[in-house]
């Protein structure tokens, strides 16, 4: 693997690790890491109580860049991947949310609850 690609790969794992610990400290249980389907990938799937959360993790130089990096197309892919995950879930969540966790250098991770809604 090329050196720059390996750096981004490691950075992605570190960002997801920090995001997962941020959520754990807030009382979430991490159900899946990097859930992959044919239609898309979800960085983290977490739950707290009867709420299921699909988490997109973004690491950028500032919060605005991190938030803008989650495109509408990517949101739809995450929604489709989550619908596939829900088919195999042994319980029915009362609430489903899509939360980004944004990471920037030298700052605490920023967890934004319910950042976007599905078209349903």
- Structural domains in the chain plus CATH codes: 3-111 (3.40.1350.10)
The tens digit of pLDDT for each residue in 6-19 reads 666 678 899 999 99
Is pLDDT above 90 for 4?
no
Is pLDDT above 80 for 28?
yes
42, 55 contact by CB (below 8 A) = yes
Show the tokens assigned to 81. Answer: 């991947």
How far is it, in rounded angstroms, from Cα 32 to Cα 15?
15
DSSP assigned state of 62: S
The tens digit of pLDDT for each residue in 35-62 reads 999 999 999 999 999 999 999 999 999 9
85, 43 contact by CB (below 8 A) = no
Mean pLDDT (whole number) for 85-111: 94
Closest CA to 114 of 95, 97, 93: 97
Helix residue ranges per DSSP H, 1-120? 3-25, 63-68, 72-87
């Amino acid at each position: 693997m090329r050196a720059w690609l390996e750096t981004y790969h490691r950075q992605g794992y570190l960002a997801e690790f920090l995001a997962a610990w941020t959520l754990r400290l807030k009382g979430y249980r991490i159900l899946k890491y990097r859930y992959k389907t044919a239609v898309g990938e979800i960085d983290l799937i977490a739950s707290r109580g009867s709420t299921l959360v699909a988490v997109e993790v973004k690491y950028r130089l500032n919060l605005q860049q991190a938030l803008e990096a989650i495109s509408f197309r990517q949101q739809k892919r995450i929604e489709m991947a989550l619908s596939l995950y829900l088919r195999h879930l042994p319980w029915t969540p009362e609430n489903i949310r899509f939360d980004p966790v944004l990471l920037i250098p030298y700052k605490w991770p920023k967890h934004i609850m319910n950042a976007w809604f599905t078209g349903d």
